[in-house]
Amino acid sequence: MKRIWAALIYLATGLLTAIASWLAIGILLLSVVILPLLPITAPHIRRIVDFDRQRLTRYTGDRTPSPPPLDGPWLHRAQRVLADPDSRRDGLWLITHALFGTLFGSIAIGIPGALVQQPIVLLTWWASPAGIENSFGLRVDSWPKALLSVPIAIVLTLILLQLPKLADLDAKWAKKMLAPPKASLEKRLAEVVATRAAALQAHGAELRRIERNLHDGTQNKLVGVVMMLGIAERTLKQNPDNALAALLRAQDAAGDALEELRNVVRSIHPPVLEDLGLDGAIQALAARCPVPCVLQADHLGRLPAAVEAAAYFAVAEALTNVAKHSGARHAWVSLGINGDQLTVIVHDDGKGGADEKRGTGLDGIRGRVAALDGNAEMSSPEGGPTVLTVVLPVGR
Ligand SMILES: Nc1ncnc2c1ncn2[C@@H]1O[C@H](COP(=O)(O)OP(=O)(O)OP(=O)(O)O)[C@@H](O)[C@H]1O
Ligand SMILES: [Mg+2]
């Protein structure tokens, strides 16, 4: 009974998404005719298909992950939609689901409806002088016709018992179209192994960086403070009138050391993230950027500290690069959450031609992001625009 119920819900909600699929096919056809519409409509179509992924997950109990969301600036989306095999599979799913989802969903709703009608017809036909029409168009106006409801109900029950098989068939096809292909799973496994190694390496590099900063900056300054205090002590014994100046110098040096230490702490987890959250902290970065920068952010809520820090540092570095190298007139930052992924895009209309080999900033972003099993992509053709896309799993 539970299985029949689950199949009924799966197929009936499938009828709703099949109707949405018909609509999506219409929009898709329009977007193919008027091509510039495609990057605008594609993310919405992806959302409709993602709803089917959730439906499939609920029915099978196996998580069906969504491909990375199609967001970001128009040009970037255009490149992705045209090159992306996931979008093609989504399109094929829409067509088959529009047809079979409508058929299977109508069966799933129609059979129980007709089944409920049979006892009602059997027991109440005589109350109406002209008889009652049953769901198969037969006018029931005599007992022999009314008794036909019994075999009809039996046949309908037998069909109802087969609904789980129909739902399983539909789910099997859905899994084939909507789940990541096996090759991509194997690739994913290789990536996980590689990112684990990268995580260990990045962790080691981060420790070394902190150690170097503490050693070269803070520790040196503290050594200076100790020396100056020694000088002040000696001056106090030999020439007390000059001791105050020596003490003040030591105090200044201690202040510097403290500032240095604060910088090291900020580079581990910027306190602004604690105070304002990721969207607030990035809003502050965008406001400080010398190139006019527009931020578009979903309400993100709190994310794991490491994810917030990686996203923050990526945007900070990208905006510094925009100001330093791009010659751009405008920059855009977008932050979006889709399921279990945070997507951060920094886009500028500058001269492009960014080359990771020429500095350490972009490489640093890649390392930090890879350590969290995320992905950073840079697109920067000569003449621009430059788009940095960072996708980070948020572990929800
Ligand atoms: N938004 C951009 N527009 C144009 N060129 C860029 C942009 N971002 C980076 N670049 C180019 O790519 C190179 C590498 O950038 P990267 O951030 O790795 O190094 P950097 O900024 O030069 O030095 P740092 O190590 O201090 O970050 C830069 O030297 C610059 O020439
Ligand atoms: Mg840089």
> What's the angle, vertex CA 260, arms to CA 257 and CA 262, rounded to 5?
110
- Residue 126: is its pLDDT beyond 80? no
**Atom 23 of ligand 1: nearest residue by CA position:** 359
Q: Give the residue among 298, 395, 292 at the shortest CA–CA distance from 347.
A: 292
Show which of 131, 158, 178 is a domain's final residue: 178
| Ligand 1 pocket test, candidate residues 322, 358, 377, 390, most atoms within 8 A of CB | 358
Tell whether 62 and 200 lie within a shared domain.
no
- Residue 168: is its pLDDT beyond 80? yes
**Atom 17 of ligand 1: nearest residue by CA position:** 361
- Counting residues of the chain whose pLDDT is more than 70, the rounded percentage is 97
Boundaries of domain holding 9: 2-178
Q: What is the model's pLDDT at position 82?
A: 75
Tell whether 47 and 113 lie within a shared domain.
yes
Residue 140 near residue 134, CB atoms below 8 Å? yes
Tell whether 232 and 310 lie within a shared domain.
no
Tell whether 62 and 156 lie within a shared domain.
yes
Task: Identify the residue with better confidence: 242 or 395.
Answer: 242
For 239-256, give the DSSP string.
Answer: -GGGHHHHHHHHHHHHHH
Q: Give the residue among 91, 51, 47 at the shortest CA–CA distance from 70.
A: 47
pLDDT in tens, 276-310: 889 999 999 999 899 999 999 878 888 888 899 99
Tell whether 289 and 217 lie within a shared domain.
no
What confidence tier does 52 reach under pLDDT thresholds 50, 70, 90?
very high
Q: Mean pLDDT throughout 239-253?
A: 90
Dist. CA 356 → ligand 1 center (Å):
7
- Residue 104: is its pLDDT beyond 90? yes
Q: How far is CA 373 from CA 80, 336, 356, 385, in A?
A: 21, 17, 20, 27
- Which CATH number is 324's domain given? 3.30.565.10
Two structure tokens written together for 388: 């940095």
The beta strand positions in the chain, using DSSP E, are: 132-133, 139-140, 293-297, 331-338, 341-348, 375-379, 386-393
Dist. CA 264 → ligand 2 center (Å):
19
Q: Is the CB of 350 under 6 A from ligand 1?
A: yes
Q: Is the CB of 385 under 6 A from ligand 1?
A: no
- Residue 391: is its pLDDT beyond 90? yes
Dist. CA 348 → ligand 1 center (Å):
13
Distance CA 78, CA 35 (A): 9
> What's the angle, vertex CA 247, arms to CA 242 and CA 251, rounded to 5?
155
Q: Which atom of ligand 1 is nearest to the CA of 320?
A: 21
pLDDT in tens, 355-384: 988 988 898 898 888 878 888 999 999 998
SS3 call for 346: strand
The tally of domains found in the chain comes to 3
Q: Give the residue among 222, 250, 219 at the shortest CA–CA distance from 236.
A: 250
Show which of 162, 178, 194 is a domain's final residue: 178
- Residue 69: is its pLDDT beyond 80? no
Residue 48 near residue 24, CB atoms below 8 Å? yes
Q: Mean pLDDT throughout 307-326?
A: 93
Side-chain-side CA neighbours of 392 within 13 Å: the count stands at: 27
Ligand number nearest CA of 319 is 1
Strand partners, 332: 294, 347
Provide the residues around ligand 2 (an ion) whose CB is within 5 A. Answer: 321, 359, 361
Tell whether 208 and 258 lie within a shared domain.
yes
Tell whether 263 and 354 lie within a shared domain.
no
Rg of the chain over Cα atoms, rounded to whole angstroms, equals 32
pLDDT in tens, 184-199: 677 778 877 777 777 7
pLDDT in tens, 335-361: 998 878 899 999 999 999 999 889 888
Tell whether 13 and 148 lie within a shared domain.
yes
Q: What is the model's pLDDT at position 396?
A: 61
Q: What is the model's pLDDT at position 71?
A: 67
Q: Which atom of ligand 1 is nearest to the CA of 352?
A: 4
SS3 call for 221: helix
| Ligand 1 pocket test, candidate residues 209, 313, 315, 321, most atoms within 8 A of CB | 321
**Atom 12 of ligand 1: nearest residue by CA position:** 354
Ligand number nearest CA of 354 is 1
Dist. CA 209 → ligand 1 center (Å):
20
| Ligand 1 pocket test, candidate residues 76, 325, 363, most atoms within 8 A of CB | 325
Tell whether 209 and 345 lie within a shared domain.
no
> What's the angle, vertex CA 85, arms to CA 81 and CA 88, rounded to 5?
75
What confidence tier does 274 reach under pLDDT thresholds 50, 70, 90?
confident
DSSP 8-class letter at 337: E
> What is the total residue count of the chain?
396
Tell whether 331 and 387 lie within a shared domain.
yes
Name residues whose C-beta falls within 8 Å of residue 78's C-beta, 6 or more positions apart in sequence.
Answer: 36, 38, 39
Tell whether 304 and 236 lie within a shared domain.
no
pLDDT in tens, 221-237: 899 899 999 999 999 99
Residue 310 near residue 369, CB atoms below 8 Å? yes
Show which of 268, 294, 319 is a domain's final residue: 268
Tell whether 168 and 193 lie within a shared domain.
no
